Copies of this chain bind each other. A is one copy, B any other.
Amino acid sequence: MAGREQAVTRVAADERAASLLQEYRETRALTERLCEPLATEDYVVQSMPDASPTKWHLGHTTWFFETFVLGPHEPNFRPYDEVFAYLHNSYYEGVGARQPRAERGMLTRPTVDEVYAYRASIDDRMGEFLTSEVAARKDVLDLVELGVNHEQQHQELLLTDLQHLLSLNPLRPALTGPAPTPPIAASSSEYIEHEGGLFEIGHFADGFAFDNEGPPHRVHLEPFAIAASPVTAGEFLEFVEAGGYARSELWLSDGWSMVQREGWRAPLYWENVSGAWQRFSLYGMIALDKNAPVCHLSYYEADAFARWQGARLPTEAEWEVCARELSSDGQFLDRGVLVPVPPARGSGFAGGAWTWTASPYSPYPRFTPAAGAVGEYNGKFMVNQMVLRGASCFTPAAHVRPTYRNFFPPAARWQVTGMRLARK
Contact = CB atoms under 8 A, between A and B. Distances in A.
Interface string A78-109: 00000100110001011000010001011111
Interface residues on A, range: 35 or more
Contacts of A386: 383
Interface in A41-57: 41-45, 47, 55
Interface string A225-261: 0000000000000000000000011011111100000
A342 to B, nearest CB: 23
Contacts of A166: 108-109
Nearest to A386: B383
A399 B169 CA distance: 35
B362 A47 contact: no
A170 B93 contact: no
Interface in A172-207: 173, 198
A256 B93 contact: yes
A175 B316 CA distance: 48
A360 interface: yes
A171 B109 contact: yes
A93 B44 contact: no
B103 A168 contact: yes
Contacts of A83: 170-171
A366 B44 contact: no
A57 to B, nearest CB: 15
A400 interface: no
Give the copy number. 4
Contact of A43 (B41, B219, B300, B365): B41
A172 to B, nearest CB: 9
A299 interface: yes
Contacts of A86: 170
A374 interface: no
Given A106-B169, A384-B254, A366 B222 contact: yes
A249 B366 contact: no
A292 interface: no
Interface in A362-378: 362-363, 365-366, 376
Given A86-B170, A170-B83, A362-B360, A106 B253 contact: no
A282 to B, nearest CB: 14
A424 B171 contact: no
B252 A382 contact: yes
A266 to B, nearest CB: 21
The 3 closest A-B CB pairs, nearest first, are A360-B360, A93-B248, A41-B108
30 contacts: A40-B40, A40-B111, A42-B109, A44-B44, A44-B45, A44-B108, A45-B106, A45-B108, A83-B170, A87-B171, A94-B249, A99-B170, A106-B165, A107-B169, A108-B165, A198-B198, A217-B222, A218-B222, A219-B220, A224-B365, A252-B380, A252-B383, A253-B380, A254-B383, A256-B380, A299-B383, A358-B363, A360-B362, A383-B386, A384-B384
